[in-house]
Amino acid sequence: MYKNLQEFIVTLDHAGELIRVTEEVDPVLEISQWTDAESKKTDGGKALFFSRVRGSRFPVATNLFGSPQRIRIAFSVDELDDLGHRIAQYTDFHPPRSMKDVLGLLPLATRAVQFVPRSFRGRHPPCQEVVYTHDNVDLGILPALQCWPGDAGRFITLPLVFTKSLVSSKRNVGMYRMQIYDRQTTGMHWHIHKDSAHYFTEYEQAGRRMPVAVAIGADPATVYAATAPMPRGMDEMMLAGFIRRKPVRLTPCLTVDLAVPAEAEFVLEGYVQPGELRREGPFGDHTGYYSLADDYPVFHVTALTHRKNPVYQTTLVGRPPMEDCYLAKATERLFLPLLRTVIPEIRDYFFPWEGVFHNLAVVSINKAYPGHAQKVISGLWGQGQMSFCKTIVVVDADVDPQNSGQVLSTLIRRLDVRSDLMPATGVLDVLDHCSPFPNFGRKLGIDLTARVAGEPPRPARETPGPRPPLEIESVQAAVEGTVACRELLAAPPGDPPGRVRVIAMSIIKSSRRGGRAFADDLLAKDLLAPSDIVILFDADMDLKDESRLLWKLFNNVDPGRDLFIQNSRVIVDACRKGPADGHMRQWPEELTFD
């Protein structure tokens, strides 16, 4: 296991997974352009190490986790599921029934002790080899990136933010972007649902400033742990110790009562003052859109410390695939055994990248009784960060949720919009931009499981038998504003002729003609009567780019507003929204470089 970030970088270099960029690069947009281009290569390209960064004496490392191979190297595993298997050793615990069973538990208990963080032993922790305090602090020495052209400034994008509860003194380590305002202040972008925001409320109610410490650059397990959706009160440094198979060594900060990883590259110490807010953002986010500007707490830096020769670790997020996709994949595999402890009928699950982690989950279950799929969907919406998931699709245990071909085949053979959709209302991720209301809106469960005894059968299809060919030219001529039209999901060999038909259309909206007007026209046209699902996209959409179609579908649809259902047919509006659609919130721009 890696002692620190630089050991991990050396390992990647020896494995042929690192490109060293020796020409001078600018942290404003240029490093991001390099990183975005590399991330979009097959299997995530390579990690990047920029040794000459304009305006800073520190090198920058990006895309370190951004491939299947590098995420396995980061965790020292052959497969990411190995982490889940190790977790299962503890979640599948059974009380001992004999002395032999007791003795068999001793190695497990001994290993568990290794997870607990320990104090650094030594006179000078590496993270405090160079120290600046109070007026000597200057955040300008950091090679922080401006990631996208529309960003409000330069951001620290991979910070490990350490806080603790005023009530229980329990530690939390989260990852919240930080916009640099000036020499000694940044934004603190913790969302309303996050643990640090909850702890900050405790300090606000007590009228006390909240101590905060931020580590930048650490060993892979420690960095990952800050991104993990741990239950409130569970120490992320314990998780890092579990992955590392050895404890994280912590050292006290110099100006606040917190402890940070001794092997970190940089550490920022300071406080957040109750009642002090400042406009933060916009910022190019992992959804592939800019998250909009809003007011967030201000972090005042009282100390900046670092190693003698530190490496500044950062990340770029945007439309998938990006580096964060592989970190999310690790979370998917690691937390499956924990989810099974509360919903044991789950066989497996999958978060497609196009769903940007919180917009779509595909779950396979061992179905046993009527309404079982609906029970699982409701249960998942009540579990931690799964509560943010907008769409949950449930399939039977013989369908591999990781196999998109199997899932789509099941959908086109089985989906009936009259009986298989389960609408709901609840909490949404802060970054959801298409709900009429921030943080709150409609969700959708989709049951694609086979019916069992006691469940009503799916209604017969209105248009059984072979479908007539789609008359694309006629559709374009008959529906005002249509740009292009294409049938998706061609029937696999052997599929019955009564399958679901899915049509993608690109359209031009206007101030008087929104999604509902198009839906009314389409549902009235005999030309599309044999079609079960029609998905509307903006005029600039390439209807042959299926990954982009899915990304738009799962990002731009509010199930309560953008689904228009008539009998067995549904029109889905995956376009940009505006007042003509009843959407009064600002719609964010997509992330692009010029």
| Residues annotated catalytic, as ranges | 285
* Dihedral Cα 36, 40, 45, 47, nearest 10 deg: 20
Residue 515: its H or E element: helix 515-524
Which of the 8 DSSP states describes residue 520? H
Q: What are phi and psi of 195, to 5 degrees?
A: -65, -40
Residue type present at position 267 = V
Number of residues in the chain: 594
Cβ pair 488, 504 in contact under 8 A = yes
Q: How far apart are CA 501 and CA 489, in angstroms?
A: 8
Q: How far apart are CA 346 and CA 396, in angstroms?
A: 10
SS3 41: coil
Helix-strand-coil split of the chain, %, nearest 5: 30, 25, 45
Q: Which residues pair with 445 in a beta bridge?
A: 392, 422
Neighbours of 315 (CB within 10 A): 24
How would DSSP label each residue in 450-461? Answer: PP-TTSPPPPPP
Q: How far apart are CA 27 and CA 238, in angstroms?
A: 34
In degrees, to the nearest 5, what angle opens at C-alpha 197 toward C-alphas 277 and 172? 130
How would DSSP label each residue in 289-328? Answer: BEEPPEEEEEEEEEEEEE-SS--EE-----SSSSHHHHHH
Q: How far apart are CA 262 and CA 253, in angstroms?
A: 10
Please give the C-alpha separations between residue 279 and each of 140, 149, 154, 295, 312, in angstroms, as whole numbers. Answer: 20, 18, 14, 4, 26
Burial track 227-255 (b if 16+ CB lie within 10 A, e otherwise) = bbebeeeebbbbbbbbbbebbbbbbebeb
Residue type present at position 321 = P
Cβ pair 49, 301 in contact under 8 A = no
Residue 203: its H or E element: helix 195-206
Phi-psi region of 555 (alpha: psi -120 to 50; beta: other; left: phi over 0): alpha
Distance, C-alpha 47 to centroid of its chain: 20
